[in-house]
Structure 1
């Protein structure tokens, strides 16, 4: 399990990158930061597009940054968004996270006032389909 210090670092990185999000249509900025197996923190923000389904989520950006940086597994991830409701990963991002994480990987949900909730990936995506489901 990831310790509090790791989540403090992830919170800072996600909060910082959230301010850089490109969200001219929804005006709903999201940041995500993950701790990878190489010990590096990778961050991403949502990037909207006038052709709505062509945008990308913050989690997708963080995973892409991890792969581009040489990381291959997610040890923990934090998603940062504003509003009264928890900003949890969408279904597609839960599956993206699953590709590089284990069912017990820690997922923290945060807002400007701090971390609001902790989940394991299996709580967010029970009975998931992952790399182990495919033949070697």
Structure 2
């Protein structure tokens, strides 16, 4: 008995996976840059201010770390969710349009030469 053929992802799923991968890489890059640069710049500015009490610097740096971590996390989460929603909408639209083209091609392949490819308004490439 031969093993069942592996099912490949459809175009919509592959597009969505690629977009999510790009979004995750962008979010990771934003997080890495913000965490590498932000605290150091803030620390330098606190030292330039020369507060009389070192506990002020410690408290301000802790407040800064908490604030930037929370705000960047929420911003990246909102960007991720918004991007996924838009990506799902676009990939479904593309997949739906291409499905009509696939159906017309299947009709022609089965001998129905009167079948016509519908206008899908996706550019001259299609």
State the TM bucket, normalised to the shorter chain: under 0.3
**Which structure has the greater CA radius of gyration?**
2
- The answer to which structure has the higher helix fraction is 2
User: Whose relative contact order is higher, 1 or 2, with alpha carbons under 8 Å and at least 6 apart?
Assistant: 2
Which has a greater percent of strand? Answer: 1
